[in-house]
Structure 1
Amino acid sequence: MPDREVCPQTLLLKGGLKVSKIIDKVMGVIGFEVEDGETEDRLESQMEDSDRIRRQKKANLLSLPTQRPVTMMLIKAKSFDEVESVAQNIKERRPVIVNFDEADKDTAQRMVDFLSGSVFALDGSVQKVAAGTFLFATCNVDVVGQINEEDREKAFFKGFSWTKK
């Protein structure tokens, strides 16, 4: 079978802006007449308008802050009754620092266990800040740094089974 030569007049150029004379005649017979000059000008102006609008939209973009300021809660826990309000703050994605100095050992252990579970459920982290003081942070807060091992050994909760390695 011989190779066919493609006539350059039958090709569509630049998204259909130029149409061959044969296609124009066929379209005219069907009832769809194409007016070369007006159609091309109209299509080009529409493309220019859409490009201009697209550039304007990009120019008007502003970066908006995605997060509101984080409020840190400081709580001095005395009884297990307070653990629900602390957990509610954690649930609302507020980091909480809790001081357990005034709570008895068993109650403090139960509270830390409960709050650790709450933070774990929200993909957060727990970090011991000082003797008897813990930071409960949710996943929206990055906690950087660490208390050294000497401070941990001197901690108030040193004798508790849940703080031993």
Structure 2
Amino acid sequence: MGVMNKLLNFIGLQEEEEIVEKERIVDSSSEQEQPAGDYRKTNKNNIVSIHSQKNVRVILSEPRSYDETQDIADHLRSRRTVVVNLQRLRQDQAVRIVDFLSGTVYALNGAISKVGPGIFLCTPDTVEIQGAIKDLVDEEADYSNQR
């Protein structure tokens, strides 16, 4: 129903039954124009490309110092997923890096997730993280404590 028809109906110059009848006539004539074997979509807005991102990259990063976090942030700004391994750093440096990356990811509407002990997955807003590996990490901690 067009805006003009709604306005005329609201004012009371045109009745709603006339509008509905006109729409039925337009719909039936548009259906007759297409051949029966033609399966193409008439509305081009519904077509979505499957290959929207051809070159998806996942960057693996193992920084040795806090200075290398800017490179990781640049990858995130370029909409690349980054896996960060902080196992070889001191605890205080690792905390600083995680804090910096958390702020970067937040500013970019992305996400950060702990994948394992000292390993984090940082994703831009175009990538969605589903599920959790926390249970697996907890089981590994329990297993190593039992030894």
TM-score range, shorter chain: 0.5 to 0.7
Normalised by the size of structure 2, how large is the TM-score? 0.59
In 1, the alpha carbon distance for the partners of 2:133 and 2:86 equals 18
In 1, the alpha carbon distance for the partners of 2:96 and 2:77 equals 18
**What is the number of residues matched between the two proteins?**
105
Uncovered stretches (5+) of structure 2, i.e. residues with no partner = 1-32, 35-40, 143-147
Match of 1:80 in 2: 66
Query: How far apart are residue 63 of structure 1 and its match?
Result: 4.8
Question: Which structure carries more helix by proportion?
Answer: 2
Uncovered stretches (5+) of structure 1, i.e. residues with no partner = 1-50, 53-57, 156-165
Q: % of aligned pairs identical? A: 34
Bigger-Rg structure (1/2): 1
Match of 1:103 in 2: 89
Structure 1 pair 75–124 and aligned structure 2 pair: CA distance change class (3 A): same
Normalised by the size of structure 1, how large is the TM-score? 0.53
Query: Which runs of structure 1 show a deviation greater than 4 angstroms over 4 or more consecutive aligned residues?
Result: none
Match of 1:67 in 2: 52
Task: Give secondary structure in 1 for the equivalent of 2:126.
Answer: coil
In 2, the alpha carbon distance for the partners of 1:65 and 1:84 equals 32
Task: Give secondary structure in 2 for the equivalent of 1:134.
Answer: strand
Amino acid at match of 1:103: L
Q: Which has the higher contact order (CA 8 A, sep 6+)?
A: 2
Task: Give secondary structure in 1 for the equivalent of 2:131.
Answer: coil
Q: Deviations over 1:105-156 (max 9, x none)?
A: 111100000001000111111110011100011110011210134614839x
Match of 1:122 in 2: 108
Match of 2:16 in 1: none
